[in-house]
Amino acid sequence: MSYQLGPRAEGVKQNIALIRLHLDNNARSAIDIGCNEGVITAYLDALGLNVVGFEADEGYAKTAEQFQQSNYSNAEICHHALSLDDLDELPDVDVIVFLSVNQQLSKIYSNEYAESFFIKLFEKAKSQLFFQPCLLHDKYGSQQGFVENDALSAKEYFDNILHEKGLLFISQLVGISINNIPKSEPYRPLIVYNKESGQSAKTRLPSMDSPNIELLRSPSQLCHIQIERAIGTRDLQCFSLVSGWHRFTATAYFIYQQLQNSIPIKYEESPLYDYYNTVQPKVFSDVWLQSGNDGDIGVLANMPLNRYVSWLPWFETIDHVDDMLAGISQAPLIPDWDLHAFGPQTNAQVLTELKRIRDLVVTFNQRGYEPELNADGFIRGYILKNGESSRFIITAGQHRLAVMAALGFKTALIKFQPGYKRVIDSSEVESWPLVKKQVYTVQQALNIFNGIFNATGLGFK
């Protein structure tokens, strides 16, 4: 049965937001005790921490491992029920996350055991302990020293446990998260115990306009972007509803309007109909010309569009230059389910796209963008920089970003594409791999960069 990704999803989302707001910016390591399905574990990894999650339940541990893999997380999941003796063997880490587990230890072992466990975890944390107690006594198996469903009373109770051991700390009730399991416990508090007497700097996520050095050195894999400045390199379409055009953004907006007015959605009336029937390029030069560009782009003009290949000058390529001149690539073919950039498309493929976009419109309109709660939930990509200006290049999540643009979202939290350089700066053109190898001249490389950087997609409208 799903828990973090099921009935507790909203509370988990709130816990993540609170942890991010109060996490020590200098923290580099963490342990997540009772990590369940690994949602918070994966998010801590995305924030740049070296994380290990411990989970006693085999089913949840397997789900947690799968969740790490699908979210490009390097966090380690250990299927193991930690004991008091085990805690002595654990290395000291900067942050320990201990949410909704203390009451289970109390009920299985004893209240004294659970208190000793809590104390040892605090001692193991070099910087912070994030702690979430249950607020119902029967969950502990015995009467507790706090008033039920009273967050401040619970905080005072657990503070006193540490005070009685002579431990020094600063504690803060940073917020509450929805619980409702059972309904008699509508929420649970999140308490952070800080070891340092002073206020540590809180975790700050960069934005696409941050200086290059900050984007490159930030331990976090996450970044805030402006949606209207997001571009696709293969289709040269922009996600802005105002100053640009993207087939999926236009279609999402069309679907949203139809749903708002209770009008049936017909493919022949959607923007995708004209698009797939008229935009049917064979090689990249066809896309380049239709987008309004005419500069010399060298071998990129010959790049096939039916393979997972990129001959952009700032990337390495597996293909030999002679093959590139002939428009031949050894990269894998794009399967039909992912071959949605251009026409022609079969009716079945188009209906799949329309359903996919419709489902996202409904979900995002109701719940918003919840990347932390979904497998491979983050939109991914990297940043182009030209002087003080920047663009976001999307590598995964076009449908999601298009729907967000159509619904009026202005910003999105993205994850940098693993394995890619985070920032491509036009001032470094001479150091780009395919320029150094003389596959492109400097001018050709800059023509490609500028054509992508200034793409609007209006030529495909």
**pLDDT band at residue 6 under the 50/70/90 scheme:** confident
Sheet of 29-33, strands arranged across: 76-79, 50-55, 29-33, 93-99, 125-132, 187-194, 170-178
Domain membership flag for residue 207: no
Torsion of CA 240, 237, 451, 305, to 10 degrees: 160
Q: Work out the average pLDDT over 32-36.
A: 97
Burial of residue 40, with CB atoms counted within 10 A of its CB: 0-12 exposed, 13-18 middle, 19 or more buried: buried
Average pLDDT over residues 375-401: 97
Of 159, 194, 229, the one marking the end of a domain is 194
Closest C-alpha among 286, 288, 274 to residue 233: 288
Task: Identify whether residues 247 and 185 lie together within a single domain.
Answer: no
pLDDT tens digit string along 406-441? 999 999 999 999 999 999 999 999 999 999 999 999
- The total number of structural domains that make up the chain: 2
Q: For residue 371, what pLDDT is reported?
A: 96
Please state whether the peptide bond connecting residue 182 to the residue before it is cis, i.e. omega within 30 degrees of 0.
Answer: yes
User: Does some domain include residue 2?
Assistant: no
CATH code at position 166: 3.40.50.150
Examine the domain organization and report whether 143 and 218 are in the same domain.
no
List of residues 6+ apart from 456 with CB closer than 8 A: 238, 240, 243, 244, 245
Does any domain span residue 362? yes
Q: Which of 38-47, 179-188, 384-393 has the lowest mean pLDDT?
A: 179-188
For 209-248, give one letter per residue: b (16+ CB within 10 A) or e.
bbeeeebeebebbbbebbbbbbbbbbbbbbbbbeebbbbb
Residue 407 near residue 248, CB atoms below 8 Å: no
Name the pLDDT band for 2 (thresholds 50, 70, 90). Answer: confident
In a domain, 422, yes or no: yes
Average pLDDT estimate for 353-381: 96
Cα–Cα distance for residue pair 25/409, rounded to 1 Å: 28
CA distance 384 to 453: 7
Do 397 and 278 lie in one domain? The reply is yes
53 within 8 A of 64, measured Cβ to Cβ: yes
pTM comes to 0.92
Domain extent at residue 173: 9-194
Query: Are residues 282 and 158 both part of a single domain?
Result: no
- Per-residue pLDDT tens over the stretch 92-125: 999 999 999 999 999 999 999 999 999 999 999 9
**Identity (one letter) of the amino acid at 121?**
L
Is 292 within a domain?
yes
Q: Is residue 149 part of a domain?
A: yes
**CA gap 139, 118 in Å, rounded:** 16
Q: How is the chain split among helix, strand and coil, in percent rounded to 5?
A: 40, 20, 40
pLDDT for 199: 52
Residue 199 exposed, middle or buried by CB count within 10 Å (0-12, 13-18, 19+): exposed
**Type of residue found at 31:** I
pLDDT at 461 over 70: yes
143 and 217 within one domain: no
Q: Is 218 found in the same domain as 293? A: yes
Same domain, 183 and 230: no
**Section 21-27 average pLDDT:** 94
On whether residue 199 sits in a domain, the answer given is: no
Q: Are both 304 and 166 inside the same structural domain?
A: no
Say whether both 227 and 331 belong to one domain. yes
Residue 27 inside a domain? The answer is yes
- What is the average pLDDT across 271-289? 96
**What is the pLDDT at residue 196?**
75
